Amino acid sequence: MSLSAIDYQIMWTRLIAVVEEQAMTLVRTAFSTSVREAGDLSAGLFDRQARMIAQAVTGTPGHVNAMAESVAHFVRGIGPQNIFEGDVYITNDPWLGTGHLHDITMVTPVFRQGVHIGYFASTAHVVDIGGRGFGPDAGEVYEEGLLIPISKFIERGRVDETLLRILRANVRTPDQTVGDIYSLAACNDAGERRLQAMLDEFGVDVIDGLADYIVDTSARATRAAIEALPEGRFVNEMRVDGYDAPVTMRVALSVDGDRLVADFAGTSAMSAFGVNVPEIYTRAYACYGLKCAIAPEVPNNAGSLAPFEITAPEGSILAATRPAAVSVRHVLGHLVPDVVLGALHRALPDIVPAEGASALWNIQISARPADPASRLPPGEVLMFNSGGTGARPLRDGLSATAFPSGVSTMSVEATEAVGPITVWRKELRPGSGGAGRQRGGLGQIIEIAPNEGYELHFNAMFDRVDNPARGREGGGPGAPGKVERADGTQLRAKGRQRIGEGARLKLSLPGGGGYGAPEERARAEVLADLEAGYVSPREAREVYGLDDAALDALQAETSGRS
């Protein structure tokens, strides 16, 4: 059957619905709150050449774009001659998957009438994979948990029970971890059922022609967008906290015709701790940042990703080599878009936002009985939290919003339901957004305490404490983050620490940088910020230049309404 470009366009639109249902099946069936509440996952369809041709909107760039590369590793690892109908493959290898052991990737080959036509793949973050737990303190990947090499979870319909027994023996939450693995396999099955129904409807048995159409069209559109950029070499450098020493992240963007190269030469060497980033994850977020600014309307697939050439020196902190510790690779990985966008700003002024909090303020909490002799059960809690994004050239930054990861903040109720903790406070942090013509997004203030009879051991993995988000074009920096007890005792921004029974942990999340000179901000917007509590009267007066008469009038109006 001969298909036209219109047929392919209709089929591609249907594919988005297919992979979105695949992702939502994972959300609905997952055991871990990181998946079902925060959406820390990815799902997609690949052709026989392991090219990603459709991805679910639900999911994170780090998972999606890394998975786009990792399926080819599965094909090589399993071997084309060993791919059978009824198989499901698995790995959490950081260098072949999505950067750390907590992400499990599953790949399911798709057959139609006995012929192999493609793959469904999915990734999800599991709360526990053994080892030290989700945190930056390890010195090698071996300490961070159980590494599952590329292998068959299911072969011709038969589950590898030995693999499951090994998993159960090495994790703190065996039912949850194994349940998430089955959820990943189930979501791939859901995608296959929908794909088969679509192919029945269109009367085709292969997706090769559709895949070529999607990849070729997307690649041409992306290269055309790159070709429209000013040619040249554009450099940016950013200093971030690191673990035991600050880290320099440096990139040079080279634009030559329809070719764009991002080279991270000059970036700091690997750390002795778990903040290192495998290059697969660096490429994922560098591509994401560049594509958002250069070709946002082009669908994300193998074709639109291919024109971006991303390199980092082997052994640098953004191209960590085995057996480096990489558990919290997201901390620096989520800052990669800020670095590449800062370089792109030199080529495209007034397009990209200011720097933001960027890295998630994830916190892994182990709740343990304060009295070891008590019979209280332990609990493991993972919480995702976000600071403010950078202001945009024409709009304020977004408050308490995850960029670039795109994950959702977990609700307090869902978090408290899975472990013996209480979240006493979760609110926007006044004054944390960087001043500017456009204000940076606000961070949050969060207070967490163990329930009666418990103490907390938490893994801090926070950045933007010593090096806050910088503003752009005269905008001010966002507020730096703070980690402390509620009584004001300062705590470390990274590493395992204890909160005793009756004490509270207080997190003050960083804000995004401002854009443009603060004195250019519209008076009405300053007044609105002041009334909402986003800025203080002192900041309105001293930073934005609001006069006393305006402050007095606002105060009188507010008092009248109350």
Instruction: State the pLDDT at residue 409.
Output: 85
- pLDDT at 561 > cutoff 70: no
The answer to whether the beta carbons of residues 542 and 535 sit under 8 Å apart is: no
Arithmetic mean of pLDDT, 147-153? 98
pTM: 0.96
Q: Percentage of the chain surpassing pLDDT 90?
A: 93
- pLDDT at 427 > cutoff 80: yes
pLDDT digits (tens, 9 = 90+) for 444-502: 999 999 999 999 999 999 999 999 999 999 999 999 999 999 999 999 999 999 999 99
pLDDT band at 552 (very low <50, low <70, confident <90, very high): confident
Q: Which region among 18-32, 325-339, 461-475, 545-559 has the lowest average model confidence (pLDDT)?
A: 545-559
pLDDT band at 547 (very low <50, low <70, confident <90, very high): confident
Q: Identify the CA nearest to 463 among candidates 294, 213, 197, 277.
A: 277
pLDDT digits (tens, 9 = 90+) for 499-545: 999 999 999 999 999 999 999 999 999 999 999 999 999 999 999 99
Length of the chain: 562
pLDDT band at 354 (very low <50, low <70, confident <90, very high): very high
Q: Identify the CA nearest to 16 among candidates 50, 63, 68, 52.
A: 52
pLDDT band at 2 (very low <50, low <70, confident <90, very high): confident
pLDDT digits (tens, 9 = 90+) for 290-309: 999 999 999 999 999 999 99
Q: Identify the CA nearest to 124 among candidates 51, 189, 193, 62.
A: 62
pLDDT digits (tens, 9 = 90+) for 240-261: 999 999 999 999 999 999 999 9
pLDDT band at 1 (very low <50, low <70, confident <90, very high): low
- pLDDT at 560 > cutoff 70: no
- pLDDT at 562 > cutoff 70: no
DSSP state of 250: E
Instruction: State the pLDDT at residue 549.
Output: 78
- Compute the mean pLDDT over every residue in the chain, rounded to the nearest whole number: 95
> Both tokens of residue 43?
């799902």
Q: Is 302 helix (H, G, I), strand (E, B) or coil?
A: helix
Give the contacts of 197 (CB within 8 A, at least 6 positions apart): none
Strand 259-263 to 308-311 pairing: parallel
The answer to whether the beta carbons of residues 318 and 335 sit under 8 Å apart is: no
Give the contacts of 141 (CB within 8 A, at least 6 positions apart): 94, 101, 147, 322, 323, 324, 325, 326
- pLDDT at 375 > cutoff 80: yes
> Which run of H or of E encompasses 367?
strand 363-369
